[in-house]
Each structure stands twice: as C-alpha cells, then as structure tokens.
Amino acid sequence: MGKVAFVFSGQGDQYPGMGKPIVERFPAAAKIYGMCDRIRPGTSEQCFGGSAEELAQTGNTQPCLFAMELAAAAVLMEKGVRPDAVAGFSLGEVVAATVAGCFDPETGFRLVCRRGELMQAEAQKHDTAMAAVVKLTAQQVAAIAEKYPGIYPVNFNCPGNVTVSGLAFQMGAFSADVKAAGGRALPLKVKGAFHSPFMQGAADAFAAELRKVEIRDHEIALYSNVMGKPYGEDVAALLSMQIASPVRWEDLIRNMIGDGVDTFIEIGPGRTLTNMIKKIDDQVTAKTVTEFLEESGC
C-alpha cells in the first residue's frame, strides 16, 4: 500500500448543519468545537444552525469550515488513521498546516478567523464574483479571460475545470464567450474574487498576522497551493501569498501521486476534492471522510 493523504476542502461546500453528526458521535470532534467556541463564541451554533446565507459570508465560512475539518481530522487520527502527507484547498491549507504541526490548534483557528475577516473586508471593496469553467482547457479559459482586464484564471482544479475570479459586471459577457467556445461557467457560492490581484491587500495583512505567531517545523509533508509542491521552510510566505495567487491543485495532486500517495481522504463537508482527484487520476483511491468512516465501521 502506498501513502495516505488528508486533503482539506475550501469554501463552497459548506451547508447548514455541517459537522453536527461527528460532534454527536465522537468526543474528539466535540473537543475541537469546544476549543473553537471558546475562542470565537457561537461557532458551533453557526455550523449547526446558521442559514446558508450566513455560512456563505467569508468571515463565517472560514472559521466554520476550519472547525468542522479539524474536528474530522481529530476523529480519524484518534482511530489510528494518520496521514503521510497533507494539503488543503485555499483555507483548507491553514487546516493542513495545523495538522502538519506548524501551528497548535488554537493558533490555527485564530489565524483562520483573521484570514476570513481580512478576505471579507477586501471583497467588500469591489463588486466581484467567481465561476467554475468546465469543458474547456486551461489554455482556452486563459485566452478568453485575456479579453477581460478584470477577470483572472485562479484555480487550476483538474482537467476541464478552471475557476476564474473577477469583476461581477464582466462575468455575463465572459460566460457567454465560454458558452460560445463549448464550455459552461458556473457561479460559485462565494462572495469575492479570491486568489486574484483583488485580494492583495488581504494577503499583505495576513502576512503581518503570521509574523506575530510561532510557526513550527511541519512534521508531515505539507503541499503548497502556490507551488503545487511540498513546503520547505517558507510557510509564512506561501500561506500569505496564496490568498492572492492561483491554486495549482492539479499540479499539487499529481506531485503527491508522484511522491507515492495513492489514497486520498477528503476532509470537509462535501466531495468536491474527491471528484477532482478522480478526474486527475482514476487509478488512485479517493474518498470523503464520511465514506471512509462508514467503510471502516466507525
């Protein structure tokens, strides 16, 4: 058997009630939520009872997803499932860095709360949006985006799936061009042009936050959104940079597979990363945390 990787999802898969089943079943998950509630009162209530609109606000989405994902990882590790490598998509990379040992859980959660606040504040400065473009190559998407000075290809997810960020008023015309080229542009449930130059202010401010905390050496191989490769000692630089930089997810997964990973467990409320990984390489095993726990009899 090859190596096992935990991959932590980003914004978009959140839903009201996420995390409640694992908290009700596993004390290890309840302990993580208790820690989050002490630092940010109401986090559990927001996860379990918040509306879809409330959870879609970046300042809420990020701490709620962090809580759910770290809780699920704690359950897996308590059951003896420990990763050889970790990665996270966008905010999921903060969870991955925490699991890898760069931050203690309290510091990781405080950082992700601040990250969400900074990105939401930056998003409110411009009327922006994101869309997933499917059925076109990355080169085709880039060629169409070049016609629009306010739209950027930002997430290279898997073959035939590239996310763009940009000015909301340009998205209609951009989407029409995508359709004319044989693709589809699907609006995402996020409020901001993440991983684009519109987020540079948040990236700079988050870099200042990271300078205030202790960052330890990671104990588990940690892969970077910005490079698609393992981190070295540049955790603070890459974690801040990724807020305004493209996510090279397809490269990251291919590099993990090249380094011996053949089993991926998606830790998050949905199956977006699982579906992407299967499109990148259908020979590897990719399961959601829910599927893994059910199949393991937990």
**Residue 204: half-sphere exposure toward Cβ, Cα within 13 Å:** 6
Which residues partner with 288 through β-bridges? 266
- From 44, 175, 195, 218, active-site residue: 195
Known active-site residue 90: yes
Can you give the three-state secondary structure of the chain, one letter per residue?
A: CCEEEEEECCCCCCCCCCCHHHHHHCHHHHHHHHHHHHHCCCHHHHHHHCCHHHHCCHHHHHHHHHHHHHHHHHHHHHCCCCCCEEEECCCHHHHHHHHCCCCCHHHHHHHHHHHHHHHHHHHCCCCEEEEEEECCCHHHHHHHHCCCCCEEEEEEEECCEEEEEEEHHHHHHHHHHHHHCCCEEEECCCCCCCCCHHHHHHHHHHHHHHCCCCCCCCCCEEECCCCCCECCCCHHHHHHHHHHCCECHHHHHHHHHHCCEEEEEEECCCCHHHHHHHHHCCCCEEEEHHHHHHHCCC
| C-alpha torsion 237→242→243→247, nearest 10 | 180
- From 90, 165, 240, 245, active-site residue: 90
d(CA 104, CA 292): 25
* Residues with active-site annotation: 90, 195
